[in-house]
Amino acid sequence: MAVPYSRTVIGSLPWYSVLIVAGILLAVCIASHEEKRIGLPRDTAIDLALVVVPCGIVGARAYYVAMSWQSFVADPLSVLYVWQGGLAIYGGVIGGALGAWIYARRRQLSFAAIADIIAPGLLLAQAVGRWGNYFNMEAYGPAISDPRLQCFPLAVLIPTAEGWVWHAATFFYESMWNLGGFIALWLLRKHQRQRGNVFAWYLVIYGSGRFIIEQLRQDSLMIGPLRASQYLSLLLCAGAALLLLRRSMRGRHLAFSALCVLLWISRWALMGRNGGYAFVLLAAGTLAVWLTRRCPRAHALLAAALVLDAAGLMMSMSGWPVSHELAAQIHTLLCSITLPMGLGALTCTQDQ
């Protein structure tokens, strides 16, 4: 399993394409289920797929090509070879969202409602599609030196000039994150009172995981010295979180809650700086406890988030009970998990 047995299923049919199509079909089925619950016209999901899927694929390829044009200069026709890999999910989300907006305008439907029926299935499709990176032997992380971590699915073997080298299986990390995100979004969706909230939660959940995972990847698309997807994740995650807060509260509580979320987000920049991280965690936790003081349900969720975060920090500082290398990765994972949990605690203080 550390090395895929083949890039193809049968003949020249690539696993990459099969998995993307499987993800799309799952997303359409879930959207069809959600259209009934929300009250959209029958077959909206199928009609929508005929627009969104082509727009998403074009957007995903265009984003990838724009960020790595030098790879296509020698053979411009290879821009069309999507079955060889090279689809950027954020480009797909942007292209698909544009297609959904056009469809909503033409059919005089709520774009926010359409985005909400797409979001859960989109996360599940991403969880499935990431396995295409496994078969293409791409989207992997740094070399793994600790022999205890040199096993699948924590790591995969990648061919290099020096031979086969173990690298972090970041495709697997993101696939599992997306699967967990899908479950969380599925549980959240019925408790959202305003259209567009489900999609906003998608941006928070996916963005918070992608920001951390992207910094581990060795093949990130770059804008100058910056990892494009990482900083786009940061912007979308922060924007969606502030939108959810704006919809759930007003006045002073909104201002303090926004400050709390921005403090939580700032932890990402403090990974490895344990003193600064601990100070920000303490400040954000104290503020959040005060903001949720009248909501026992929020307190329980917040307490769980703070315990997980503190555990990750202590593990990172001590390296116990695992190696420092693994402890650092676990801490980054917990940092991303606790952001949606903390936001959930703040937003559930009032009925959305």
**195-211 pLDDT tens trace:** 999 999 999 999 999 99
Q: Is 233 exposed, middle or buried (0-12, 13-18, 19+ CB in 10 A)?
A: buried
Flag whether pLDDT at 188 surpasses 60.
yes
DSSP label of 151: S
Q: Is 45 exposed, middle or buried (0-12, 13-18, 19+ CB in 10 A)?
A: buried
pTM surpassing 0.85?
yes
Task: With CA atoms as reference, report the closest residue to 198 among 206, 187, 208, 189.
Answer: 189
- pLDDT tens column, 134-155: 999 998 999 988 888 899 998 9
The mean-pLDDT minimum among 28-37, 48-57, 158-167, 320-329 falls in 320-329
273: left (phi over 0), alpha (psi -120 to 50) or beta: beta
Confidence of residue 167 (pLDDT cuts 50, 70, 90): very high
User: By percentage, how much of the chain surpasses pLDDT 90?
Assistant: 66
Provide mean pLDDT across the span 47-72: 91
- What's the pLDDT at 325? 73
Which of 284 and 249 is assigned the larger pLDDT?
284
Number of H helices, E strands in the chain: 12, 6
| % pLDDT > 70, the chain | 98
Highest-confidence segment of 110-114, 230-234, 325-329: 110-114
> What is the average per-residue pLDDT within 74-79?
84
Average pLDDT of span 19-40:
94
Give 259-281 pLDDT, tens digit per residue.
999 999 999 989 889 999 999 99
Q: Are 248 and 258 in contact (CB under 8 A)?
A: no
Residue 51 CA to residue 339 CA, distance in Å, equals 33
Strands (E), the chain: 8-10, 13-14, 155-160, 163-168, 222-223, 226-227
Six token digits for residue 62 = 């265009």
28 CB contacts (<8 Å, ≥6 apart)? 45, 46, 49, 121
Contact 288, 344 (CB under 8 A): no
Predicted pLDDT at 234: 92
The model's confidence at residue 351, banded by pLDDT at 50, 70 and 90, is: very low
- The torsion angles phi and psi of 168, rounded to 5 degrees, stand at -60, 135
Largest Cα separation within the chain, whole Å, is: 63
Residue 73: predicted pLDDT: 82
φ, ψ (nearest 5 deg) of residue 158: -125, 130
* Interior angle at CA 321, CA 317 and CA 323, nearest 5: 70
Residue 133: what pLDDT? 92
CB 89 within 8 A of CB 107: no
Side chain identity at residue 299, one-letter code: H
